Amino acid sequence: MEPWLSYALIAMFTGGVAMVFAKMGMGGADEHVALVIRTGVLFAMVVANAWYAGALKGLKVIDNKTLTWFILAGACTAVYWILYFKALKTADVSVVATIDRAGIIITVLLSYFLLKEPLTPRLLLGMGTILAGTLILIWK
For the stretch 86-100, pLDDT in tens is 999 999 998 899 899
Inside any domain, residue 118: no
Report CA torsion sign: 15, 20, 21, 23. positive
Inside any domain, residue 125: no
Per-residue pLDDT, averaged over 20-33, amounts to 91
The domain total for the chain is: 1
Inside any domain, residue 13: yes
Inside any domain, residue 137: no
Inside any domain, residue 131: no
Inside any domain, residue 135: no
Inside any domain, residue 75: yes
Range of 45's domain?
Answer: 3-101
Inside any domain, residue 53: yes
Backbone angles phi, psi at 55, to 5 degrees: -85, -15
Q: For the segment 102-124, what is each residue's pLDDT rounded down to a tens digit?
A: 999 999 999 999 999 999 999 99
| pLDDT exceeds cutoff 90 at 27 | no
Q: For the segment 49-87, what is each residue's pLDDT rounded down to a tens digit?
A: 999 999 999 899 999 999 999 999 999 999 999 999 999
